[in-house]
Each structure stands twice: as structure tokens, then as C-alpha cells.
């Protein structure tokens, strides 16, 4: 298989082929997901909960993100993996200034990331443009943005009323304009995610709890393997419940994203 790249992802987007993404935090699971054909691996700051036992992603540091990005990147290299590797800029590592964001992104890119992800809209567009102009591909993230959980008042659906939906849409268009090649939409109504996906022709929407119309899907790997310390979110499907081992579950996830059978808007969406 040829390595994934920005042009290949843009081509998939243009052709309407669904993009599959999963989180990965270590070398072994990264290699397994790559072998299953997952196109994008996200070293998500959800590792704060999954690996570190934290209550939120707010406590995850840049040094921890660097450690896990290094591990995932080495795991991919060992198996000559082809996945596109995205790493989250953690809370506090990009909010201060565009220069701070560039320094933090550099740490993750030098650990092997191909793209960085950051949360929020509005002020972030300027930061995204600054990074993209300097050769760092960026994935944006709107809707439920877990780093701001304390400001949002909990892990709940975002963009429900027309006013909130209009703000989200404005932010999404600004982020595309700033050069974000991907946009994670987390916990937004399926209808809103669908209309944003139609409007954003140069930025691939990746949904999580955002319905089936997005250009791609992402899940926390541990969630889709049915191993989760907390309450399983409604938008998750447990691919281990269908029998077989981890490799089979990862393959089944890729197949279900590609053929549109996951997510099922009657079960996994708002």
C-alpha cells in the first residue's frame, strides 16, 4: 500500500470515499490499526483518560503527547505502515500565541506526526493559517471540544439551536478558509454535520457522534473495542461484540465506515 498523504486524502474526499480514523496511543495498536486499513491514526489527548486515568483531557501535557506520538510513529515505521498520523495539541500548548502553537506543533511533528489537531473556532483560524503557511497540516475540531469541558458545562451535544448552529458554521467556514484540511465534528446533530459536509468542499469533515453524512468517521479505539472505564457514549458501536478478535474488529470498523453502515443515525446520532 502507498502511504496516505494530504493529496491522497483530498482525492478520497473529492471522490466521496469515506475516511476511517481511529485513535492510537502505542506502537502495537497503531500497527494493528494500520494493518486493518485505517487511513488516519489520531494520537488523541483522550489518552489522558484512556492511558493516564485522568478525568478530562485538561491535564495532558505536551511532553506526554510527544511520548505517545513517538511510540505510535515508531510502531508504524516498524511495520512500514501507511497511515496518516495526526497528533493533538494539548490544552495550554497553543492558546497563548501563534508562535507558541508553532513551537508545540514542531515538537509533535518532530516526534513523527504528519498533522496536528487543535480545538475550537474563532480565534483559532489565525493560528491554523499561521501553521499551514509554515508547512504544518492542521485538523480543526468543533462541536464538543473536550479541552473546554468546564466552559461548556459538560459533555453534551453542541449546535442544537439555530443560533449555536450558525456560530459553528461560521467557525467551520473560517477554518477551511485558514487552510484546515480536516475538521473533526464531535457531538453535533446529524443534520448540521451533513449540511457542513456539503458546504466544506476543501476540508474533510470527520464525525464522532455527528451522524453518517460526514466525509469520515473517528472513534476512540478502546471504545470501539468495548473497553472503556466510564459510560459508553451513545455514538459508539462495540465492534468486539460481533465476535472475533481485535484484528477482526478493526477490519469490521473500516468496512462499516466505508460502506456507510457505521454510524447508524437511528442508533448513534442526534
Binding site residues, Na ion, CB under 5 A: 44-45, 88
Residues in the site for ligand KIV, rule: CB under 6 A?
Answer: 23, 42, 44-46, 88, 184, 186, 208, 218, 220
Q: What, of Na ion, ligand KIV, none, does residue 208 touch, CB below 5 to 8 Å by kind? A: ligand KIV
Minimum CB distance to ligand KIV smaller for 175 or for 184: 184
- Give the active site residue among 133, 186, 199, 248: 186
Nearer to ligand KIV by Cβ, of 95 and 163: the residue is 95
Please provide the size of the chain in residues. Answer: 270
> Least Å distance between CB 162 and ligand KIV?
25
- Residues placed in the known binding site: 45-46, 88, 117, 119
Least Cβ distance, residue 223 to Na ion (angstroms) = 13
Exposed / middle / buried, residue 167 (Cβ in 10 Å: 0-12, 13-18, 19+): middle
Give binding residues for Mg(2+) as ranges.
Answer: 45, 88, 119
Beta carbon of residue 11, minimum distance to Na ion (angstroms, whole number): 26
* Interhelix angle 98-110/62-78, nearest 10 degrees: 30
Rounded Cα gap, residues 239 and 24, in angstroms: 16
16: region left, alpha or beta (phi > 0 left; psi from -120 to 50 alpha): left
Task: Outline where the chain has alpha helix (H).
Answer: 6-15, 27-35, 47-50, 62-78, 98-110, 124-133, 149-152, 162-178, 190-199, 221-224, 246-258, 265-268
190 binds, among Na ion, ligand KIV, none (CB under 5 to 8 A by kind): none
Active site residue 199: no
Amino acid at each position: 500500500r502507498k502511504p496516505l498523504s494530504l493529496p491522497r486524502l483530498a482525492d478520497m474526499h473529492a471522490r466521496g470515499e469515506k475516511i476511517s480514523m481511529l485513535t492510537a496511543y502505542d506502537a502495537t495498536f497503531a500497527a494493528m490499526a494500520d494493518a486493518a486499513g485505517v487511513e488516519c491514526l489520531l494520537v488523541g489527548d483522550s489518552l489522558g483518560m484512556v492511558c493516564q486515568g485522568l478525568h478530562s483531557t485538561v491535564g495532558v501535557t505536551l511532553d506526554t503527547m510527544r511520548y505517545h506520538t513517538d511510540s505510535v510513529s515508531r510502531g508504524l515505521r516498524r511495520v512500514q505502515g501507511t497511515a496518516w498520523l495526526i497528533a493533538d495539541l494539548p490544552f495550554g500548548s497553543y492558546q497563548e500565541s501563534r508562535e507558541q502553537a508553532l513551537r508545540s506543533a514542531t515538537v509533535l511533528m518532530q516526534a513523527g506526526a504528519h498533522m496536528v489537531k487543535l480545538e475550537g473556532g474563532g480565534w483559532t483560524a489565525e493560528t491554523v493559517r499561521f501553521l499551514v503557511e509554515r508547512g504544518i497540516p492542521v485538523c480543526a475540531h468543533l462541536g464538543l471540544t473536550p479541552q473546554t469541558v468546564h466552559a461548556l458545562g459538560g459533555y453534551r451535544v453542541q449546535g442544537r439551536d439555530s443560533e449555536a448552529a450558525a456560530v459553528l458554521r461560521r467557525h467551520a467556514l473560517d477554518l477551511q478558509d485558514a487552510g484546515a484540511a480536516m475538521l473533526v465534528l464531535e457531538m453535533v446533530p446529524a443534520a448540521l454535520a451533513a449540511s457542513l459536509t456539503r458546504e466544506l468542499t476543501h476540508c474533510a469533515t470527520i464525525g464522532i457522534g455527528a451522524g453518517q453524512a460526514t466525509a469520515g468517521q473517528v472513534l476512540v479505539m478502546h471504545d470501539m473495542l468495548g473497553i472503556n472505564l466510564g459510560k459508553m457514549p451513545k455514538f459508539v458501536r462495540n465492534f468486539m461484540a460481533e465476535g472475533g478478535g481485535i484484528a477482526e474488529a478493526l477490519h469490521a470498523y473500516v468496512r462499516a465506515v466505508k460502506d456507510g453502515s457505521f454510524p447508524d443515525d437511528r442508533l448513534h446520532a442526534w
